Amino acid sequence: MSAPTTTAPAGAAYDAAAVRAEFPLLSGGAQLPDGAPLVYLDSAATSQRPRAVLDAERSFLETTNSAVHRGAHSLAAEATELFEGARETVAAFVGAQPEQLVWTSGATAGLNLVAYSLGNAAAGRTVPGHEDAVRQWAPGPGDEIVVTEAEHHANLVPWQELAARTGARLRAVPVHDDGVLDLEAAAAVIGERTRVVAFSHVSNVLGVVNPVEQLVAMTREATGGRALTVLDACQSAPHLALDLPALGVDVAVFSGHKVLGPNGVGCLYGRTEVLEALPPFLLGGSMVTTVTLEATAFLPPPQRFEAGTQAVSQAVGLAAAVDFLRGVEERFGEGAVAEHERRLERRLRHGLREVPGVRLLGDADGVDDGTVQRVALQAFDVEGVHAHDVGQLLDARGVAVRVGHHCAQPLHRRFGVTASVRASAALYTTEDDVDTFLDALSGVRAYFGVGR
């Protein structure tokens, strides 16, 4: 896998502009009519891809494209080696073993896989030898599934469906005005009838980092270890150093396209004992050992959950994205990216607070006392101007942000709005990007004739 071509010596001061130059779309591929560069502040939706990722995927398609795990010819063997090598690279990125990482089409697919697998178990479709293990997680009438008020729809709707299919009750942990989970309420909600606790590592609306280890410990204590903890790591994987086994979660998901990688590929991490006990969700070729007209025996994980043709070139591209991120760390020093993004987060939040008529969601009294960890991602409301109008005016100034409910309608209702504007940064975002955005935002209300 190719590394970034940034030439800064190891330990040099972080240079976001040099990193940005490795992203073709940001370094000339997308420009304003006057030649000014695009200010891209929508990385929480989809990150841009460095040249190393584009090259890796293109190289695979041009030189190695073949079906993996199937052909006896040398091209297929080489493709399989790259595919499984990518699994090793991405698994190591989150502290996991290769057999603990399942390829999916994205985080949404991974969450649905777990939810429907538990539904299959509740219906009696279990893995021989693992019946007792999976049944402790499979909900039934009178059992409970716990989510939070801040979840992305992908980590809410599948659990609603599982509750409806099994007769379980869905319960939610609320958030405080500052966007932090109400842990006292969580302790009251999670109990002996809880079978699943699903929550995000980082809110895709508020940028708040949730206390994963504390929630896992709370769940184990309240349920005697009989509940499955499910982590949505989509917004943490691009910004935080992840060691999923150390966090203690049973399963976790993240998407390639939010970690500088391709669309159409994502990952499901699972503790070995969990993956071994979960019955399959999608069925077909490549995940079986023996098939007769009467019955089928399935492969062990991760292949048990990888039916059909996989996104091979995308997996290779995702591994290249991981290598790129590691390469940036090596050039600028461990923690350099995180420190850069912390500076962006402070600049973004403090700047937004100073714009008249702007209300940050989950900001409470606007005080930073160091107790709430956040990433450089923030949704906000502009008084008197609809979010879509704000987004269009910013777009006219060359600033790309997200508008809408960000697939988190319950959280928006919690803060009294139906839509918001979201700005989100990444390792290629510069301080000038943030300043350009704030300057453009400061003129929005005057343009629409409000707030005079």
What distance in Å separates the CA atoms of residue 75 and residue 104, rounded to the nearest whole number?
23
E strand or H helix at 197: strand 194-200
User: Residue 418 CB: number of other CB atoms within 10 A?
Assistant: 12
Q: Enumerate the β-bridge partners of residue 380.
A: 360, 421
What distance in Å separates the CA atoms of residue 349 and residue 377, rounded to the nearest whole number?
9
What distance in Å separates the CA atoms of residue 445 and residue 452, rounded to the nearest whole number?
8
What distance in Å separates the CA atoms of residue 257 and residue 145, rounded to the nearest whole number?
29
What distance in Å separates the CA atoms of residue 362 and residue 289, rounded to the nearest whole number?
50
Six token digits for residue 236: 């943490």
Decide: 324 and 260 in contact? Cβ < 8 Å.
Answer: yes
What sections of 100-257 are H helices per DSSP? 107-122, 131-135, 157-166, 183-189, 212-223, 244-247
Based on the residue annotation, tell me whether 407 is a catalytic residue of this protein: yes
Burial label for 187, CB within 10 Å (0-12, 13-18, 19+), is middle
State the helix-helix crossing angle for 312-332 and 51-63, rounded to 10 degrees: 140
User: Residue 410 CB: number of other CB atoms within 10 A?
Assistant: 16
What sections of 211-311 are H helices per DSSP? 212-223, 244-247, 272-277
User: Residue 53 CB: number of other CB atoms within 10 A?
Assistant: 29
The single residue of 407, 409, 442, 448 carrying the catalytic annotation is 407
What distance in Å separates the CA atoms of residue 296 and residue 422, rounded to the nearest whole number?
48
Six token digits for residue 278: 């979960």
Long-range contacts of 395-404 (CB under 8 A, 24+ apart): 397/436, 397/440, 398/32, 398/36, 398/37, 398/38, 398/39, 398/436, 399/39, 399/41, 399/436, 399/437, 399/440, 400/38, 400/39, 400/40, 400/41, 400/42, 401/41, 401/42, 401/437, 402/42, 402/44, 402/45
Report the catalytic residues: 407
